[in-house]
Amino acid sequence: MKNNVEKMRKERGLNQEELANILEVSRQTICSLENGKYNPSIILAFKISRFFGTYIENIFIYEDDNSEK
């Protein structure tokens, strides 16, 4: 799953540690999210969307592996 977390974080002028503190997660969680190595829980996805004031779908982009078949 792709996401816009890094782009949106930078637009707010935040570093990973600051965003992690706001969302009450570790900096490593933010780093893994931004690198596409971690898919958030639904609760964390909602926290992120509320913080950025947008829909989850505007942050996280699900790509179905079967969409081209």
DSSP state of 67: T
- Residue 64's pLDDT band, with cuts at 50, 70 and 90, is confident
CB 18, CB 25: distance < 8 Å: no
Confidence at residue 67, expressed as pLDDT on a 0 to 100 scale: 56
DSSP state of 26: -
Rounded average pLDDT over 40-48: 98
CB 21, CB 11: distance < 8 Å: no
Give the Cβ contact number of residue 19 at 10 Å.
24
Task: For domain 2-56, give the CATH number.
Answer: 1.10.260.40
- Residue 7's pLDDT band, with cuts at 50, 70 and 90, is very high
Residues 6+ apart with CB under 8 A from 64: none
Tokens found for residue 11: 């637009």
